[in-house]
Structure 1
Amino acid sequence: MNTLHAQFPRTTRRLRQLALPLALAALPGAALADDSNKIFTVGGFGTLGVNTSSFDNGDFAVNPFQPTGAGTKKQWSATTDTLAAMQVDAKIDEHWSGVLQVVSSMTAENSFEPHIEWANIKYAFTPDLSVRVGRIALPSFLVSDTRLVGYANTWARAPQETYSLYGLTNSDGIDGKWSQSFGGFRNTVQAWFGRAKGIKAPSAGGTTTEFSMRKMRGISDTVEKGALTIRASAHISQLVFELPASYGSDLLIGYKNYSLGAIYDPGTWFVQGEVALLKRWISAPLFGMPPGSERAFNAIGGYRYNAFTPYLAYSRVGNSTMAASRAQRTTAAGVRWDFYKNMDLKLQLEHVALGAKSAGFFVNAKPGLAGSSGNIATLALDFIY
């Protein structure tokens, strides 16, 4: 762990560059007698979080799949940000490797039943060209690979206004990566195709709705040079609701998602920003859901002073042509304290303002929520092991 800690400076960018699989590769785990011949490594990460909300007519949820949070029935919640994960990496030889990541977090059924977040096998033709098959992280946004790893990020959580715009985090299918270096730049192109089945989301009356995603395909491009990282991503998918036979066909909702993000992190300070666009169209004008689009933006900047990193953040998603507007903006201030090896403590204060006809990303909305504003306070303990 000492070697790992030495290579994990308190910089967001370096931690993202190493990413979780490389971090866990340095952790002790099941291995052969000689560490140089290690095949399996085991590690994990987690967050113990608690937040409170001044809203009393809607629940603050950190992603679209959570059924409850601090707000209508309880002022405090210890479940919305809390999660635990374990990851097993396998390195067979210079060509074959694999990963299994299991995450326990609040589900649409209001439980912490573990689910498989990643499970794939990788074949590397060369160090710069590889293909994976299985359950793979969707590279929809700048920090998609580490969005669940609180320790890898300065903020208490990825901003809802951007990262919940398209809330799915993985797909079952295939992807390929190709990297090249030129003129001091490192460019990585990733293309994928897949689907996701049996997705559950909360609905009215404490029940859940199940749907699937199909024809998921996309491409992303990541450029790195020194302290600068830029990622652009575009993908298309189709959501499928199974309807009774009397409807004649299932309800199909198509999505196109585009994002462009960048981070500049020379060490002592950092700035990061991202823009995203979501477009939607449907097979028929059912349930008051006409075609529409949403535009989102987030930015964060911070300064590192010894073990402390104070930061400011702003994010928003604007009014759209969609029937159910999610217009919301959040202004946040916080501090990260790296008080112990491989652990941090974060305090984040947010002011959330909703559009005039919007419930934002709140769940269990009551009359009077739209157009209101309020405050959220979060205390989170992050760790890797």
Structure 2
Amino acid sequence: MKKTWVAACVAMACCATTATAEVNINGFASIKAGKASSGDTLYGYTDEIDFKNESLFALQVQSDLGEKLSVTAQIMARGRNDFDAEFEWAFLTYQLTDEWRLNAGRLRTPFYKYSDFRDVGYAYDWLRTPQSVYDLGFNTIEGVSLYHSSNFRNMQSNLQLVFGAYDGEVAVVGTESPAQINNIVGATWELSQDWLSMRLAYLVGDVSIEASSLNPLLQALSNLGLGSVAQSIDFNEDDGSFFGVGLNYDRNDWLMVAEYTHVKVEDSFYANQDSYYLSLGRRFGAFTPYVSYEKDEDDAKPEIYAALPANFPLRPTIATIVNSQWFDNSTWNLGLRYDFHPAAAFKVQFSSAKDKFTNSKDSLMALGVDLVF
């Protein structure tokens, strides 16, 4: 399905070119470097200076096919992937009315306030989006999205309805595993007025993950007549849900952004995740210093193994897997954005993270340039 949507959009773009339709090409890039304080990885960095981890280049092609139909594709090359270019998203757009718009293809999943342009570093002040919130594991779906823009009680209202599926990989027990999330249905609603905006998001889907490292354990439990315990561990069309709320304040050069998210997957060992961040900044001409605080608290599910006898041979293995989901991490960020060019910004950010369970601390210094063209 993924390749079909991309191929369809590319084909439409080619047809548009031969028909001399208007084609617009835009791009953005980030050139960044960073170094962590220890050998432990923080946001993909180690204690060696790395210029590839968060660097990227992207092109976005948009073609108006006429009669309210257009096609958009974005090609991304990330440094962490040796700058191998691939389609990040590709979709068709049909303007139903002045207020209603329909997109179909590979779309950015609208989890967060900055979902649509989280890779466009120039669009926000931080050096990176707050990872305690913006790190769910997948960013796109194949499906359709319906947008409605209007005025609501003197406020601008933007409603988005989405339906689709995800077919790719997610990390399970430290290993990338094939995953399918079917029947993704959700809605987001953002209200804005002058210097204040608020956003709500809610999505659900059926989560299935082929975690091969768990197969021996699951098979052993089934053979021992403990199929219910196996079902409480694995991911097999389990109900998953995402809830998010955001607030943005921008007035008299003072900036405040905050988001909170809650993620859970029923009947699996996946922890219930509560994450949030609060960011404050102040513009001084071309300079914008900021400070932010992030929190990621994941509650494991010890009830999965609590009823098993203490001497049950597989109990320690199950406990290890389940308890690996405990996570309580907090991060302070201090940074500065300098708009030295109308289309480019220099940024520097220091991050200090602390893991409550291991009592470990890591810090990261990173800098770079975000630009659009």
TM over 0.5: yes
1:89 to 54, 62, 75: 62
Is 2:242 aligned against 1:257? yes
Look up the equivalent residue of 1:193 and give its one-letter code.
F
In structure 2, C-alpha distance between the alignment counterparts of 1:251 and 1:194, rounded to whole Å:
19
Give, in angstroms, the shift of residue 105 of structure 1: 1.6
In structure 2, C-alpha distance between the alignment counterparts of 1:54 and 1:263, rounded to whole Å:
32
Q: Equivalent residue for 1:13?
A: none
CA deviation vs aligned residue, 1:343-367 (integer Å, no higher than 9, x gap): 01001011111121xxxxxxxxxxx
Matches within 5 A, 1:1-385: 39-56=22-39, 58-61=40-43, 69-71=44-46, 74-93=47-66, 95-106=68-79, 110-164=81-135, 166-199=136-169, 201=171, 208-242=176-210, 251-252=235-236, 253-266=238-251, 268-282=253-267, 289=269, 292-322=271-301, 323=323, 324-356=325-357, 370-385=358-373
Q: Is the 8 A contact 1:223 1:230 kept in 2?
A: yes
More displaced, 81-90 or 211-220? 211-220
Q: Is the 8 A contact 2:137 2:171 kept in 1?
A: no
In structure 2, C-alpha distance between the alignment counterparts of 1:260 and 1:115, rounded to whole Å:
31
Look up the equivalent residue of 1:59 and give its one-letter code.
T
User: Per the alignment, in what secondary structure is the counterpart of residue 151 of structure 1?
Assistant: helix
In structure 1, C-alpha distance between the alignment counterparts of 2:51 and 2:271, rounded to whole Å:
35
Which has the larger helix fraction? 2
Give, in angstroms, the shift of residue 276 of structure 1: 0.9
User: Per the alignment, in what secondary structure is the counterpart of residue 66 of structure 2?
Assistant: coil
Q: Equivalent residue for 1:362?
A: none
Give, in angstroms, the shift of residue 325 of structure 1: 2.2
Q: Is the 8 A contact 2:137 2:170 kept in 1?
A: no
User: Per the alignment, in what secondary structure is the counterpart of residue 168 of structure 1?
Assistant: coil
Give, in angstroms, the shift of residue 298 of structure 1: 0.5
More displaced, 135-144 or 252-261? 252-261
User: Per the alignment, in what secondary structure is the counterpart of residue 155 of structure 1?
Assistant: coil
Q: Is the 8 A contact 1:203 1:209 kept in 2?
A: no
Q: 1:338 to 1:350 in 2, by over 3 A?
A: same
Q: Is the 8 A contact 2:138 2:170 kept in 1?
A: no
The 4+ residue runs of structure 1 with deviation greater than 6 A are none
Q: Is the 8 A contact 1:31 1:41 kept in 2?
A: no
Q: Is the 8 A contact 2:42 2:362 kept in 1?
A: no
Q: Is the 8 A contact 1:271 1:300 kept in 2?
A: yes
Q: Equivalent residue for 2:307?
A: none
In structure 2, C-alpha distance between the alignment counterparts of 1:235 and 1:312, rounded to whole Å:
30
Q: 1:117 to 1:202 in 2, by over 3 A?
A: farther
In structure 2, C-alpha distance between the alignment counterparts of 1:44 and 1:202, rounded to whole Å:
33
Give, in angstroms, the shift of residue 167 of structure 1: 2.8
More displaced, 308-317 or 89-98? 89-98
More displaced, 88-97 or 137-146? 88-97
Q: Is the 8 A contact 1:319 1:355 kept in 2?
A: no
Give, in angstroms, the shift of residue 113 of structure 1: 2.1
Look up the equivalent residue of 2:42 and give its one-letter code.
F
Give, in angstroms, the shift of residue 267 of structure 1: 5.2
Q: Is the 8 A contact 1:281 1:292 kept in 2?
A: no
In structure 2, C-alpha distance between the alignment counterparts of 1:120 and 1:241, rounded to whole Å:
26
In structure 2, C-alpha distance between the alignment counterparts of 1:203 and 1:82, rounded to whole Å:
27
User: Per the alignment, in what secondary structure is the counterpart of residue 78 of structure 1?
Assistant: coil
Give, in angstroms, the shift of residue 212 of structure 1: 2.6
Look up the equivalent residue of 1:212 and give its one-letter code.
Q
In structure 1, C-alpha distance between the alignment counterparts of 2:79 and 2:241, rounded to whole Å:
27
Give, in angstroms, the shift of residue 315 of structure 1: 0.8
Give, in angstroms, the shift of residue 115 of structure 1: 2.3
Identity rate, percent = 23
In structure 2, C-alpha distance between the alignment counterparts of 1:257 and 1:89, rounded to whole Å:
30
Q: 1:229 to 1:201 in 2, by over 3 A?
A: same
Look up the equivalent residue of 1:237 and give its one-letter code.
G
Q: 1:118 to 1:152 in 2, by over 3 A?
A: same
Figure out how many residues of one structure are paired with residues of the other and give that number.
Answer: 318
Look up the equivalent residue of 1:70 and give its one-letter code.
Y
Give, in angstroms, the shift of residue 279 of structure 1: 1.2
RMSD: 2.6
